[in-house]
Amino acid sequence: MRYGKIGFGCWQLGGEQTVNGMQNGWHVGPEAQRIKLIEGAISSGIDVFDTAQAYGDGISETLLGTAVSRSGRRNDLLIVTKLSHLNTLAPDEINWPTFLSCLDDSRRRLQMDAIDVVLLHAPPPALLSDNIWSLFEKAREEGYIGSYGVSPRSWEELQHAADIGFGSYLQWNYSALERRCDEPFLSRLHQRGLKFIGRSTLFRGLITETFFREGPACCFHDARDQLPQVLLTEIHEKISALRPVAQALDLTLSEFAIGATLLNELSLCSLVGISKPDHLTSIIKVRNLPQVKLEEIQSALEAL
């Protein structure tokens, strides 16, 4: 089945959250509004949804499960979730009962007997072992999951996962400012039968008009407060150079960035974090851009 090139990233839907005393969540509306946002996305034709156990400590999965169940469109959608609770265990502590218990937490919250794609979420390298591989294979054979893979933390870990061929899905950063997962790398994955999902399309909401206006001194009061100042300054300099290019094409920074991901024919899709109706409106606008406009985005990227 062929899915749309823009997927719904559900991190923001988990809401406010702290991890080790640090803000790791997002300021969003009431849960009922978040569910309606997902329902609106499904109605608009978005058919890939990516969530994780860690997003709001399960809240994101729960809200997504509720919206999908209400929609009656489960069979039309690709649902991806990520397991992080395994990361707290030593590899030799993970057996079929502990693995299935972790997986069942997500299945229950998502209200799904089978989850289409399940990824390890920023796992320590030791988890990419024959033992964990065999547990995923058993889950697939017993119909609990469709496919599996890895969403690693670093570029080096992504390359390692690709080299050993852990599962059939890889997820990593891909945006107008992060192009290492462009055609040469994805061609290698494609030859090995691996599928790629791009994440952080808007670089945690930094490739936006809001961040352009407010600058690197902005106080986010959300997960972005963890980002180092030197990175914020670097990103602001880059989007300041990118903005005139986007304006010349009658696009906002975020619309330009989303459009850039549509050019990656070898990726399954790219995820955009959505927490407001305006975000969904921008995605629909970009999805309907004529081919000539996408070619102009391609030319602009090559000229940068």
290: domain CATH number?
A: 3.20.20.100
- Supply 133's token pair: 């591989």
- Residues 25-75: tens digit of each pLDDT: 998 999 999 999 999 999 999 999 999 999 999 999 999 999 999 999 999
Contact 117, 268 (CB under 8 A): no
- Residues 109-130: tens digit of each pLDDT: 999 999 999 999 999 999 999 9
Contact 195, 169 (CB under 8 A): yes
| In a domain? residue 198 | yes
How wide is the angle at C-alpha 18 spanned by C-alphas 13 and 24, nearest 5°? 55
- Residues 205-228: tens digit of each pLDDT: 999 999 999 999 998 989 999 999
| In a domain? residue 39 | yes
| In a domain? residue 272 | yes
What would the mean pLDDT of 175-193 be, rounded to a whole number?
A: 94
Around Cβ 222, how many Cβ atoms within 10 Å? 18
| In a domain? residue 203 | yes
| In a domain? residue 196 | yes
- Supply 201's token pair: 């399309």
| In a domain? residue 1 | no
Q: Which domain holds residue 46?
A: 6-303
| In a domain? residue 274 | yes
Q: Structurally, how many domains does the chain consist of?
A: 1
Confidence of residue 154 (pLDDT cuts 50, 70, 90): very high
pLDDT given for residue 299 in this prediction: 92
